[in-house]
Amino acid sequence: MSLWRYILWRVLAMVPTLVMISALVFLIIELPPGDYFESYVAELRALGEASDLAEIEQLRERYHFDEPLLVRYLYWAGGMLTGDFGYSFEYRLPVSEVVGDRLWLTILVSFVTIIFTWVIAFPIGIYSATHQYSVGDYGLTLVGMIGIAVPNFVLAIVLMYFANIWFGTSIGHLMDQRYLGEPMSWDKFKSIMEHLWIPVIIIGTAGTAGMIRRLRANLLDELQKQYVVTARAKGMKPLPLLTKYPLRMALNFFVSDIGSILPSIISGAEVTAIVLSLETTGPMLIRALQSQDMYLAGSFLMFLALLTVIGMLISDIALAFLDPRIRLGGESTK
């Protein structure tokens, strides 16, 4: 199967996949009893406040909550196809406006975290594999184990304290509180950069430690294979020997992780975001699921599903280029 035919086949296969995912997402959101309006009325009554039932009934009719389940799904899915992601009842705004700056801040945090993870993990993983059982290998392994073992929310609390004591950085948020809700400016951007390193280190610690261990294990496996031993016996220099084949083959796991990296750019680390009060999409998604704000929650989940499907396509194509042993469509090699 040629590359272009394979890409076309995979793109066409994405359509029924996303349709099934959308149906499952809608069904899961609808599984809890009641809807947003019933939860909202119950919350108002618990607080002793009056609720405008007439307005609520108008909203129910306007957004088809009085229709059968299948009809509501068709309205929701059809709206997304036309770029209408629905209305957030809790925020009283269209979903696209609610997400707004939170989406770009989430992308910024996650993108910088991914770069941080790669920059730290790759040289350490390569060093540990090429200096197996050395003092440096044991020391870096210990640090990596600590990074995996310490929960992110504990590290978040510790870093918030020391960032405030040592650098005078305000605790929590991605910017000083005076910039919350303000349009982007140079001062706001500098404040974001000042706060950005805290969530990047916290979120990236566990991922960096895990990537170091995986890269070390895969590279060690490749370095012990016969073709490496033969090349070394023929006098091939260590650096070209390492980079030409063993390192390239050891990166298969990294390329295959692209499918999970893309949705993580949007979802981020929810628990860490809640602890740090970050203006990212993670806490908003959790709140939307809790309050049954179906259009907001459903749009988030569908976007994550789309990124996952696209990421898997990219990773499969990249693996075919990276590793000649992999053939598109399962072709045999002679």
What CATH number is associated with residue 116? 1.10.3720.10
Q: List C-alpha distances in Å: 89 to 95, 128, 295.
A: 9, 52, 8
Note down the domain range covering 128. 102-283
- 54: pLDDT strictly greater than 80: no
pLDDT beyond 80 at 63: no
> Which residues sit opposite 87 in a β-bridge?
94
| Residue 173 domain-assigned (yes or no) | yes
The Cα–Cα gap between 270 and 114 comes to 16
Q: Is residue 5 part of a domain?
A: no
Alpha-carbon dihedral sign for residues 208, 254, 302, 85: positive
Task: Give the separation between CA 31 and CA 197, rounded to whole angstroms.
Answer: 39
* Percent over 90 (pLDDT), the chain: 3
Q: Is 85 a domain residue? A: no
Cα–Cα separations (whole angstroms), residue 78 to 22, 72, 103, 307, 309 = 11, 10, 23, 19, 20
Out of 187-191, 256-260, 296-300, 313-317, pick the least confident. 256-260
Q: Cα separations (Å) of 269 from 5, 113, 124, 285, 297?
A: 37, 11, 24, 11, 16
Residue 309 has pLDDT above 80, yes or no: yes
Q: Is the pLDDT of residue 37 over 70?
A: yes
- Which spans in the chain are helix H? 3-30, 36-46, 53-62, 69-81, 95-130, 135-149, 152-167, 186-223, 226-233, 238-244, 246-250, 252-256, 258-267, 270-276, 281-291, 294-322
Q: What is the mean pLDDT of the chain?
A: 80
Cα–Cα nearest to 197, from 140, 264, 116, 261: 116
Per-residue pLDDT, 247: 84
Please provide residue 243's backbone torsions phi and psi, each rounded to the nearest 5 degrees: -85, -25
Rg (CA), the chain: 25
79 is a domain residue = no
* Whether residue 180 has pLDDT greater than 90: no
Q: The whole model's pTM is what?
A: 0.75
The total number of structural domains in the chain stands at 1
Q: Which residues are bridge partners to 94 per DSSP?
A: 87
Q: Is 90 exceeded by the pLDDT of residue 20?
A: yes
Residues 309, 310, 315, 316: is their CA dihedral positive or negative?
A: positive
Q: How much of the chain, in percent, has pLDDT values that exceed 70?
A: 89
Q: Does residue 161 form part of some domain? A: yes
Average pLDDT over residues 205-218: 84
Dump the DSSP string for 206-244. Answer: HHHHHHHHHHHHHHHHHHTSHHHHHHHHTT--HHHHHHH
Q: Which residues pair with 91 in a beta bridge?
A: none
Q: Give 245-285 pLDDT, tens digit per residue.
A: 888 878 777 777 777 776 766 665 677 777 777 777 778 88
Q: Average pLDDT, stretch 194-218?
A: 83
Classify residue 72: in a domain, yes or no: no
Domain-located, residue 292: no
175 assigned to some structural domain: yes
Tell me: pLDDT of 205 over 90: no
pLDDT tens digits, 73-127: 888 888 888 888 888 877 878 888 888 777 788 888 888 888 888 888 889 989 9
- Tell me what the mean pLDDT of segment 231-237 comes to: 86
Q: What is the DSSP string of 178-195?
A: GGTTPPP-HHHHHHHHHH
